[in-house]
Amino acid sequence: MTILQHKRIIVGITGGIAAYKAIEFIRLLRKSHAEVRVVLTPAAAEFVTPLTLQAISGNAVSHSLLDPQAELAMGHIELAKWADAIVIVPASADFLARLTVGMANDLLATICLATAAPILLAPAMNQQMFAQSITQQNLTALSNRGYRFVGPNSGEQACGDMGFGRMSEPKEIYASLEDLFAQKQDMKGLSVVITAGPTQEAIDPVRYISNHSSGKMGFAIAQAFSERGANVTLISGPVNLATPANVHRIDVTSAQEMHQQALKSAVENQIFIGCAAVADYRVTQVAEQKIKKSSDEITLTLIKNPDIIADVAHLQSKRPFTVGFAAETQNIEQYAQDKLQRKNLDMICANDVSSGKVFGKDQNSLHLFWRNGNIILELDDKKNIAKQVVKHIFDRFRQSK
């Protein structure tokens, strides 16, 4: 028996080339003995046919808000009440925009407005469309309202572009749906603050010092804590990622800004996790105007930034359980254990970032250390790694109490 057996799932399909992947997703649902109803937008019907989807799902396909026969029984309301969950695969930029502003101009959007069931969105679009600020604002708004997301991934797209916007694979979407029904709410009342992403240290109005951190690992940890009921604050450097559902996000740019927000949040939370790749140094004097190219060499004088994780770990009052991250290129175990002791941490998560192994990637492996133990988390998707990290942090936190 699977967790999705007898669950009533509406699969919504919007217009996009990734619509063909919905067929495999529906097949996985049917294999797990879920009940499936498919709802198409008018644009989606140009990519996948109702006849194919009817054969795969075992039910008639709904695609018109103005179907006289269906609406005799208020079909859109009936479907909205029937569903245990709604999965939009793919969720196009157009559909996300319409959902954000509450439009009900097709059957699928109307069902989403009329349902009390959780909604899982699998965005898919051109990488430039995904990167647009309005799309990111829509994703953040929907996330803050409780909509859940899987993906998108980074990779080659049908148009030939490379970047974020490629829809998650059907197995990934299926796993996220399983997680939605399997969520433990054993962390209610727990408060957690997490730093994520890079910082940017200004040189002049157009240049800065930074690093390759994507923020994916920190965002995945925030999502994993939130899914188990914790109250999560996420302090993020500049990244192109949607805020996880039910997570309070604070955006910062520089290490000093992150330091200020971190110390303020640390005393208000029970667990502090420093996952951000904070710049070690900043320029002593930021130029007010763009520095012009005048010679073959330029000299910048740098000054050390505050050590956020060490300052949090050495708080004299209201000190949270403190977890650090160590991104190393050599001597991983030695450097991690040294930081654990020197910075007064309760736990440290170390990873090998040599040769670009981690930054910007969707997978990671970690070696966790604490005072009297350690464990290796083998290479896996960052979301799965995050769930394991959260489990071990929570176990150590409870033992410390």
Domain identity same for 170 and 217: no
* Any domain includes 2: no
- In-domain check, residue 3: no
User: pLDDT digit string (tens) for 346-365?
Assistant: 999 998 776 555 565 678 88
Answer with the one of 153, 181, 209 that is the final residue of a domain.
Answer: 181
Q: Which of 131, 153, 181 represents a domain boundary (last residue)?
A: 181
pLDDT digits (tens, 9 = 90+) for 32-63: 998 999 999 999 888 888 898 998 888 888 87
341 has a pLDDT exceeding 90: yes
Considering the domain architecture, whether residues 148 and 262 belong to the same structural domain is answered as: no
- What is the distance between the terminal CA atoms of the chain, rounded to a whole angstrom? 38
**pLDDT for residue 351:** 85
Say how many domains are in the chain. 2
Distance (Å) of CA 87 to CA 118, 187, 284, 383: 9, 26, 50, 19
Q: Are 225 and 273 contacting, i.e. CB atoms less than 8 angstroms apart? A: no
Tens digits of residue pLDDT in 159-191: 677 777 888 889 989 988 888 887 667 788 999
Q: Is residue 289 classed as helix, strand or coil in its secondary structure? A: coil
Tell me phi and psi for residue 35, to 5 degrees: -90, 130
Task: Indicate the residue among 158, 181, 204 that finishes a domain.
Answer: 181
291 is a domain residue? no
CATH of the domain at 17: 3.40.50.1950
Determine the residue type at 372: N
Instruction: Note the pLDDT of residue 73.
Output: 44
Q: Does 42 reside within a domain?
A: yes
- Considering the domain boundaries, does residue 290 fall inside one? no
Q: Are residues 226 and 365 in the same domain?
A: yes
List C-alpha distances in Å: 133 to 88, 129, 136, 238, 242: 22, 9, 5, 13, 11
Q: How far is 110 from 87, CA to CA, in rounded Å?
A: 14
Comparing CA positions, the residue from 177, 166, 104 lying closest to residue 129 is 166
Distance CA(399)–CA(401), nearest Å, equals 5
Asked if pLDDT for residue 320 goes beyond 80, the answer is yes
Asked whether 367 and 376 are in contact (CB, 8 A), the reply is: yes
Binding residues for CTP: 274-276, 280, 290, 306-309, 325, 339, 343
Put simply, whether the predicted model's pTM sits higher than 0.75 gets the answer no
| % pLDDT > 70, the chain | 93
Q: What is the pLDDT of residue 67?
A: 60
Domain containing 390 — which CATH number? 3.40.50.10300
Identify residue 120 by its one-letter amino acid code. L
Predicted confidence (pLDDT) at residue 325 exceeds the cutoff of 90 = yes
Q: Which domain holds residue 63?
A: 8-181
Q: Examine the domain organization and report whether 13 and 93 are in the same domain.
A: yes
Q: How far is CA 64 from CA 14, 52, 293, in A?
A: 13, 17, 61
Cα 209 to Cα 186: distance, rounded to the nearest angstrom: 41
Residues annotated within a binding site: 274-276, 280, 290, 306-309, 325, 339, 343
- Please write the tens of the pLDDT for every residue from 89-132: 999 999 999 999 988 888 899 998 888 888 999 998 988 888 88
- The band of 75, judged by pLDDT with boundaries at 50, 70 and 90, is low
Q: Determine whether 159 is an active site residue.
A: yes
Short-list 333, 285, 276, 286, CA closest to 308:
276
Provide the pLDDT for residue 154.
Answer: 76
Which of 218, 217, 201 is CA-nearest to residue 209? 201
pLDDT for res 80: 84
User: Which pLDDT value is given to residue 393?
Assistant: 95
Q: What is the pLDDT of residue 131?
A: 86
Residue of 134, 158, 159, 206 marked active site: 159
Numbers of helices and strands, H then E, in the chain: 14, 19
Higher pLDDT, residue 196 or 329: 196
